[in-house]
């Protein structure tokens, strides 16, 4: 059902845990299955210096969260914002169709954490756009 990359991120997830005093934080839940992701980011000079997650859910949700944090670390906030669920799926080498919704959880978590950071800095939230779908 899962390819080697997904299994690797499931059995050896990257960037798990919390960042104490994170600059941005979000908790998102999938309405499709109830999986929940918490994501923490530390921002330095407009770049995501660190990203960690805690996900409670299926293997695809954990693998998607792990890959998402790998994809955004070191990126500017603007670059990280453009990491779509499709990019997560591609980086994982694919997910079974019934599990693609797990990658949406990762994208929503990234966006919510960035907007949480922006709110803490007194900045307006960035809006979702229709061209971000995979």
Q: Where are the alpha helices (DSSP H) in the chain?
A: 4-11, 59-72, 77-81, 85-91, 101-120
54, with CB counted inside 10 A (0-12, 13-18, 19+), is middle
Q: What percent of the chain has pLDDT over 70?
A: 96
Going along the chain from its start, the domains and CATH numbers come out as 4-119 (3.90.1010.10)
Confidence of residue 32 (pLDDT cuts 50, 70, 90): confident
pTM given for the model: 0.93
SS3 44: strand
Q: Would the pLDDT of 130 be above 70?
A: no
Catalogue the active-site residues.
33, 102
pLDDT digits (tens, 9 = 90+) for 38-96: 999 999 999 999 999 999 999 999 999 999 999 999 999 999 999 999 999 999 999 99
């Amino acid at each position: 059902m899962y390819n080697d990359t997904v299994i690797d991120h499931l059995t050896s997830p990257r960037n798990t845990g919390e960042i104490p005093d994170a600059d941005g934080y979000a908790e998102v839940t999938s309405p499709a299955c109830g999986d929940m992701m918490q994501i923490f980011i530390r921002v330095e000079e407009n770049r995501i210096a660190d990203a960690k997650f805690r996900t409670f859910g299926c293997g695809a949700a954990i693998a998607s969260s792990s890959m998402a944090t790998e994809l955004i670390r070191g990126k500017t906030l603007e670059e990280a914002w453009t990491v779509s669920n499709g990019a997560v799926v591609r980086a994982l080498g694919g997910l079974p169709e019934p599990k693609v919704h797990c990658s949406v959880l990762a994208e929503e978590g990234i966006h919510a954490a960035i907007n949480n950071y922006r709110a803490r800095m007194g900045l307006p939230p960035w809006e979702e756009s229709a061209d971000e779908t995979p």
